[in-house]
Amino acid sequence: MNLIGENITYKPDDQFHLNDVSFNFKKGNLYTILGRTLSGKTTFLKTIAGLLNPDSGNLSFEDNDFIKIPVWERNVAMVYQQFINYPHLNVYENIIFPLKQRKTSEDQIKKDVEEALKTVGLVGFENRKIQELSGGQQQRVALARSLAKKAKILLLDEPLVNLDYKLREQLREEFKRIFTQGLSEDTILIYSTTDPQEVMELNGEVIVLDEGKVLQKGPAKEIFENPRNLKVAEISNDPPMNILKGTKSSEKLNFENILIKSPSHFKNLSDQSYNFGIRASEIKLDSQGEEFEIELAEISGSETLLHLKKGESKVIALIEEVMNFKIHEKVKIKFNENKLYAFDQNEKLVSSPYGVSHG
């Protein structure tokens, strides 16, 4: 009864858009596809929708061969990152379009649309033209159309990426509410995004995609705590996890002339070279720390991002307050060694502060 993909590969030109992707999606669950731009997220969703046919592999849903079913008979819904609605129809007509297409009864249509409008908070906008709405409202209409349809598979392709910061925050909250309350047990929801924070907040099953390949699958918490390799660590953190080459020798870690005490969770690591990873938020200003030079300081919201440099080592630190720095100013910082990750020479995770490691 699940949506099952087996070894799906799509390679329309020289590059893999999807490379041997397999998955098993259960009804009533939320799945997030995390990946950078051009990692194959949209291709992934379009393949499920039926807009693209994979070169090889199987896709089945409720024990039917999904690939043989054309898009218009698949009963999926999709929200694009561009706000795609039917510009010649008003809000109400937009939402009933798929229902009319399916020849739903008038009463049912009325009920479904009312419910969908209430869910997305657009009651009273029924007769507005699409062009009269703001970007956020347009995206709500698109979402309402998908919800009213009560499709068994709901695909959302970076639905928030084209909205401004504030609206994104607000809609993200609402999405979470809609996904937890408004979805029936029958629906598989697949949400793609580039934003790790969104993934953590939606807290579903995560698939990390890069260059068309699945790098890691698991619950959001697992991806956050134990990124399987360097790539995942980079993709699943914003700003990306800092990676420093270094060596461990007994109780000390040495990354390019910075010496740090080896944390307790590294005690089983053999003495050799590693790629050490640390999140930007685990680097703190500390007068006892190492001196770094500021290359760039950006203030975003209530946080300050510092791009720091010492010799060849470059790190990004996230300071949780607004501070003014001058470029080329020297600051002292300290790494929180208890939150250090170690990746081996093959970029695989060998030790994480959260204990579990993939050997």
Partner 1 sequence: MEKLYKFLKYTFIILWTVFIVAPFLWAISTSFKDFQSVNSKVTYIPWLDFEPTLEGWRVLVKSPARGGVDIVEPYFNSLFVTCTASLISIVLGTLAAYALSRFTFKAGFVRNNDITFFFISQRIMPPIVLSIPFFIFLSTIGLLDSLIGLVVVYIVLLMPIAVWIMVDFFNRVPKELDETALIDGCNPYQAFYKVVLPNSIPGLIVAGMFCIIFGWIDFFFAFILTFTEVQLLPVKVVALNSSITPWWSLSASALISVAPLIIVAFVVERYLSKGNLSGALK
Q: How far is the CB of 151 from partner 1 (least distance, A)?
A: 9
Name the residue nearer to partner 1 (CB basis): 19 or 104: 104
**What are the strands, taking DSSP E only, across 26-116?**
30-34, 56-61, 64-65, 76-79
Q: Which phi and psi (to 5°) does residue 56 adopt? A: -150, 165
Q: Which residue has the tokens 């695909």?
A: 155
The answer to whether 323 and 337 are in contact (CB under 8 A) is: no
Burial of 142 (0-12, 13-18, 19+ CB in 10 A): buried
Beta carbon of residue 78, minimum distance to partner 1 (angstroms, whole number):
5
Number of H helices, E strands in the chain: 8, 20
Q: How far is the CB of 24 from partner 1 (least distance, A)?
A: 23
C-beta closer to partner 1: residue 64 or 264 = 64
Contact between residue 149 and residue 176 where contact means Cβ atoms under 8 Å apart: no
Q: State the residues that interact with partner 1 by CB under 8 A.
A: 46, 49-51, 70-74, 76-78, 80, 82, 84-88, 97-98, 101-102, 131, 145, 149
> Given the complex with partner 1, which of 37 and 131 has the nearer CB atom?
131
CA distances from 252 to 73, 108, 266, 274, 287 (A): 62, 68, 10, 13, 21
Residue type, 189: L
Query: Cβ closer to partner 1: 144 or 308?
Result: 144
**φ, ψ for residue 280 (rounded to 5)?**
-60, -35
The DSSP-derived string for 307-333 is EEEETTEEEEEEESS-----TT-EEEE
Nearer of residues 49 and 230 to partner 1, judged by Cβ: 49
Minimum CB–partner distance for residue 147 and partner 1 (Å): 13
Question: Which residue, 18 or 241, has its beta carbon nearer to partner 1?
Answer: 18
To the nearest whole angstrom, how small is the minimum distance from the Cβ of residue 349 to partner 1? 38
Nearer to partner 1, 17 or 46 (CB): 46
Residue 108 C-beta: closest distance to partner 1, Å: 15
Q: Smallest distance from the beta carbon of 103 to partner 1, in angstroms? A: 9
Asked if 152 and 184 count as a contact pair (C-beta separation under 8 A), the reply is no
Q: Which is nearer to partner 1, 76 or 188 (CB)?
A: 76
Give me the least distance between CB of 162 and partner 1, in Å please: 11
For tokens 């007509």, name the residue: 93
